[in-house]
Structure 1
Amino acid sequence: MKVPDYPENEDVRVATLRSLSILDTEPEERFDRLARIAKRLFGVPIALVSLVDMNRQWFKSCQGLAVTEMSRDISFCGHAILGNDIFMIADTLEDERFYDNPLVLNEPRIRFYAGVPLVVPNGIKVGTLCLIDREPRILSDEDRELLRDLGQMAAQELSSVQLATIDELTQISNRRGFSALAHHALNLCKRMNKPASLFFFDLDFFKEINDRYGHAEGDNALVNFSKILKESFRESDVVGRLGGDEFVALLTNANQTETQLILNRLEQVLKDFNSKQTDRGYDIVYSVGMVEFDPSRHHSINDLLVEGDRLMYAQKREKRSKEVISS
Structure 2
Amino acid sequence: MDIPAHGSNEAARIALLRSLNILDTPPDERFDRLTRLAKRLFDVPIATVSLVDTDRQWFKSCIGLSVEETPRDISFCAHTILDDDLLVVDDAQLDPRFADSPLVTGDLGIRFYAGCPLTLNKSLRVGAFCIVDKKPRKLDATERELLRDLARIAERELEVLQLAATDDLTGLSNRRGFEALGHHVLALTKRARSRASLLFFDLNGFKQINDVYGHAEGDRALVGFAGVLRGALRETDVLARLGGDEFVALVAGAQAGDEAQIIDRVRLGVARYNRDNRRGYDLKFSVGYAPCGTQDDTSIAELIDIADHAMYANKRAAREKSPRSEASALVPAQ
TM-score of the superposed pair, with normalisation by structure 2: 0.58
Contact kept in structure 2, 1:9 and 1:235, CA below 8 Å: no
Q: Kindly tell me: are residues 10 and 207 of structure 1, through their superposed partners in 2, closer, same or farther at Cα, counting changes over 3 Å?
A: farther
Q: Deviations for 1:194-225, whole angstroms, at most 9, x for unmatched residues?
A: 01011011100000000000000001111111
Q: Which amino acid aligns with 2:102?
A: F
Contact kept in structure 2, 1:201 and 1:287, CA below 8 Å: yes
Q: CA deviation at 1:68?
A: 5.2
Contact kept in structure 1, 2:160 and 2:177, CA below 8 Å: no
Q: Kindly tell me: are residues 105 and 325 of structure 1, through their superposed partners in 2, closer, same or farther at Cα, counting changes over 3 Å?
A: closer
Q: How does 1:83-94 map to 2 (within 5 A)?
A: none
For 2:95 and 2:268, the matched residues in 1 are separated by: 54
Q: CA deviation at 1:165?
A: 1.4
For 1:292 and 1:185, the matched residues in 2 are separated by: 14
Q: CA deviation at 1:102?
A: 2.5
**Structure 2 residue 130 is the aligned partner of structure 1 residue 112:** no
Q: CA deviation at 1:324?
A: 3.2
Q: Which amino acid aligns with 2:202?
A: D
Partner of 1:144: none
**Structure 2 residue 56 is the aligned partner of structure 1 residue 38:** yes
Q: CA deviation at 1:298?
A: 4.7
Q: How does 1:240-255 map to 2 (within 5 A)?
A: 240-255=240-255
Q: Deviations for 1:29-83, whole angstroms, at most 9, x for unmatched residues?
A: xx77x23x339x9877444656xxxxxx952xx5xxxx554346x4xxxxxxxxx
Contact kept in structure 2, 1:237 and 1:252, CA below 8 Å: yes
Q: Which amino acid aligns with 2:86?
A: M
Q: Secondary structure at the residue paired with 1:324?
A: coil
For 1:165 and 1:325, the matched residues in 2 are separated by: 37
Higher relative contact order structure (alpha carbons within 8 Å, sequence separation ≥ 6): 1
Q: Secondary structure at the residue paired with 1:184?
A: helix
Partner of 1:102: 91
For 2:308 and 2:36, the matched residues in 1 are separated by: 29
Q: Secondary structure at the residue paired with 1:170?
A: coil
Partner of 1:290: 289
Partner of 1:200: 200
Q: CA deviation at 1:266?
A: 1.7
Gap regions ≥5 residues in structure 1: 1-5, 14-30, 51-56, 75-100, 116-125, 130-154
Q: Kindly tell me: are residues 267 and 8 of structure 1, through their superposed partners in 2, closer, same or farther at Cα, counting changes over 3 Å?
A: farther
Aligned residues: 225
Partner of 2:218: 218
Gap regions ≥5 residues in structure 2: 1-33, 42-50, 58-68, 111-126, 131-154, 326-334
Q: Which amino acid aligns with 2:289?
A: M
Q: CA deviation at 1:272?
A: 1.1
For 1:264 and 1:42, the matched residues in 2 are separated by: 44
Q: CA deviation at 1:295?
A: 6.0
Structure 1 residue ranges, 4+ long, deviating more than 6 angstroms after superposition: 41-44
Q: Kindly tell me: are residues 10 and 314 of structure 1, through their superposed partners in 2, closer, same or farther at Cα, counting changes over 3 Å?
A: farther
Partner of 2:173: 173
Q: Deviations for 1:234-287, whole angstroms, at most 9, x for unmatched residues?
A: 011111011111000011112124443332222211211111122x00111110
Q: How does 1:1-327 map to 2 (within 5 A)?
A: 7-10=35-38, 34-35=53-54, 37-38=55-56, 45-47=73-75, 58-59=80-81, 62=82, 67=83, 69-71=85-87, 74=89, 101-110=90-99, 111-113=101-103, 127=128, 158=158, 161-162=161-162, 164-278=164-278, 280-294=279-293, 298-324=297-323
Q: Kindly tell me: are residues 181 and 214 of structure 1, through their superposed partners in 2, closer, same or farther at Cα, counting changes over 3 Å?
A: same
Q: Kindly tell me: are residues 49 and 167 of structure 1, through their superposed partners in 2, closer, same or farther at Cα, counting changes over 3 Å?
A: farther
RMSD over aligned Cα, in angstroms? 3.6
Q: Which amino acid aligns with 2:183?
A: H
Q: Secondary structure at the residue paired with 1:315?
A: helix
